[in-house]
Amino acid sequence: MGNLKNYLKKFLFVISAKKSTLVILLSLFLCTSLLDALGIGLVGPFMGLATNPDLVNQKVWLAWIYKNSGLSISHFIALLGLGMVITFYVKSFFYFQVQKYILSFSISQLGILRMRLLHGYLSVNYAYHLNKNSAFLLQNVIKETFLFCYSVTLPLLNLMVNLLVVCTLMLLLLGTHFWATVSILVILLFAFTLYNQFKEQMAYWGKEGSESDTEMIRIINHGIGGIKETRVVGCEPYFESQMSIQVKRHASTASLAQVWQQLPRIVLEALLVTVLIGFISVSLILNQNPENLISILSIFAVASIRLLPSASQLMSAVGTLRNSSYSLNRLYSDLKELELDNVENKRADYNLLFKPKSGALLHHKVQSQKFPFAEEIIINEVDYSYPGIPGNVLQKISLTIKKGESIAFIGKSGAGKTTLVDVILGLLMPTNGDIQVDGVSIYKNLRAWQNMIGYIPQTIFLIDDTVERNIAFGVTDELIDPYRLQKAIEAAQLEELISQLPNGIKTSVGERGVRLSGGQRQRIGIARAIYHEREILVLDEATSALDNETEGLVTQAIRKLSATKTIIIIAHRLSTVEHCNCIYMLERGKVVKSGSYGEVVLGEQLSSAS
């Protein structure tokens, strides 16, 4: 009972439906069960009337209807038969509508849950992603949500339907023949108890299947994501052998789970036939009234047609729920973790996000928020330590950046430059200290602050789409501003490149910009920052991987912007920071030196030489 309560608690947390919707579903299930009982309950009396028409006079209300109908007994019984047929058709139609509603409900929950997870992963604290593999997140959004829909929600709802049907039919049969019903009940309980003995094994198969799926995604990401290195090194057999292990692991557990789901129907069919034949044999031996036997058998025969599938589906649903418990636990744990990060406390309107135009307008509204910036940015006594790692990576960092200035962070690898920039970007929350813009903390409206920043990393992320869509990254086609697009292209010195492309700005750049050179990708990154009209540009070693000539072009594009933008640069090549107003040297998470290029860079070189 405790396990069932815990399972339902997790299910209700993961599912996004309102509780009133679930109450409506339960009401529909109850109506379906009552209609089933009504339809089947009418079969016995009808068969009794068909074999012995004199029984019509034993019921006062039935005799009254018969006398006032003006029909012969045979026509009256035929009319009752027509009423039964209509009842069965109504019941079947209603059952179809309930099943349709269940499917529609479950599949809509699949879409909502995927939106909920994606919203959570995109909104969660950046530090969360430092400890998560992308294969794990992909598996959750695509496969685990699918399993939650088809292997948790649908089986759970069908389990409720079939449980009500089985209980209703058992009550009906109990009123027809007590001992035969008890025999069927004992057999059902025996089969269920036997089936339930393997619950741990079914849960293990589900866990193995889910983990093997995650591993397969990870292997594909590694092998195809680094296809150039894979080909050059010649490690194709390694990835294929790794994939082969996971394919066999998945095939083994999935086939066992599927075979086990078929077992209840096979076993119950054999057991119920045994009970039915045994009941007939005992009745004949005891010389019971054949008319009563026919009536009872009619009810049992029709009930079995409905009882057998319901009972077997009920047991199969229990097995499926056990098998999918790992997926439910995984989604529950992830959503709980996102909730702790306050993401789930800022629930989005997922139905609105299903509508592309509404989603685009919502995105535009969020992007239009801007943080007031007229004078300076003050970084005040900032400390930062990564979760689970002792010691501060940043220690008491304090500096001031005037509007329109260009500053640079230099230092050896591991000095804390990138961590400091991640804090400035609002990706990492400082352990202590604050960042203020014109005296106002950026953490009062972090989204508005991030809307001020254009980020250009060493490796620009490009989507497999056109140059136009990569520059106007995250903006739908109908909202792309041609004037701003052209302005960004000119400022990033992309005109010559675009003129040489076969379809101009409509040319696809390939996955991760594979059809472009490193310098061209960097300049698209600069154009992206300019298009989005970001007042502050952050360049994280943006030219360190480029050759001298390309670096010169990118640096020239950046310098053209220095008069109108506030620029923050992380650099290894010190020649790229010569134009900066102030340079900060970091060492072990502390600012050890600051000043002009001559004071910091040339002064350091002179000190080293002497």
pLDDT of residue 362: 46
User: Residue 6 above 70 pLDDT?
Assistant: yes
Residue 601 maps to which CATH number? 3.40.50.300
Q: How crowded is the C-beta side of 433, counted as CA atoms within 13 Å?
A: 23
pLDDT of residue 86: 83
pLDDT of residue 353: 47
Q: Considering Cα of 62, then 64, then 65, then 69, what sign does the dihedral take?
A: positive
105 and 195 fall within a common domain: yes
Q: How crowded is the C-beta side of 42, counted as CA atoms within 13 Å?
A: 16
Residue 19 CB-density burial (10 A; 0-12 exposed, 13-18 middle, 19+ buried) = exposed
Which amino acid is present at 229?
E
d(CA 444, CA 433): 14
d(CA 603, CA 610): 11
283 and 408 fall within a common domain: no
315 and 444 fall within a common domain: no
Q: Is residue 217 part of a domain?
A: no
Range in 7-16, 84-93, 349-358 with the lowest mean pLDDT: 349-358
pLDDT of residue 548: 66
Please state, rounded to an integer, the average pLDDT across all residues of the chain: 77
Pair 497, 523: CB distance under 8 Å:
yes
With residues binned 3-state (H G I as helix, E B as strand, rest as coil), the percentages for the chain, rounded to 5, are: 70, 10, 20
pLDDT of residue 544: 61
User: Residue 480 above 80 pLDDT?
Assistant: yes
Domain boundary among 295, 323, 341: 341
Percent of the chain with pLDDT over 70: 81
Domain boundary among 341, 362, 384: 341
Using pLDDT thresholds of 50, 70 and 90, give the confidence band for residue 302. Answer: low
476 and 598 fall within a common domain: yes
Query: Is the pLDDT higher at 193 or at 289?
Result: 193
Range in 83-92, 234-243, 365-374, 571-580 with the lowest mean pLDDT: 365-374
User: Residue 346 above 80 pLDDT?
Assistant: no
pLDDT digits (tens, 9 = 90+) for 390-434: 888 888 889 898 888 888 888 888 888 888 888 888 888 888 999
Q: Is residue 189 part of a domain?
A: yes
pLDDT of residue 361: 46
pTM reported for the whole predicted model:
0.70
Q: What is the mean pLDDT of residues 274-297?
A: 68
pLDDT of residue 44: 64
Q: Is residue 369 part of a domain?
A: no
Q: How far is CA 191 from CA 96, 161, 310, 372, in A?
A: 28, 19, 14, 70
Domain that holds residue 541: 376-609
User: Number of structural domains, the chain?
Assistant: 2
549 and 440 fall within a common domain: yes
Q: Is residue 244 part of a domain?
A: no
Residue 188 maps to which CATH number? 1.20.1560.10
pLDDT of residue 24: 77
321 and 399 fall within a common domain: no
Q: Is residue 466 part of a domain?
A: yes
Overall residue count recorded for the chain in this entry = 610
Query: Is the pLDDT higher at 306 or at 78?
Result: 78
Strand positions, DSSP E, 482-595? 536-540, 566-570, 582-587, 590-595
Using pLDDT thresholds of 50, 70 and 90, give the confidence band for residue 350. Answer: very low
User: Residue 17 above 50 pLDDT?
Assistant: yes
392 and 318 fall within a common domain: no
124 and 64 fall within a common domain: yes
pLDDT digits (tens, 9 = 90+) for 124-174: 888 778 778 787 888 888 888 888 888 888 888 778 777 777 777 777 677
Q: What are phi and psi of 597, to 5 degrees?
A: -55, -45
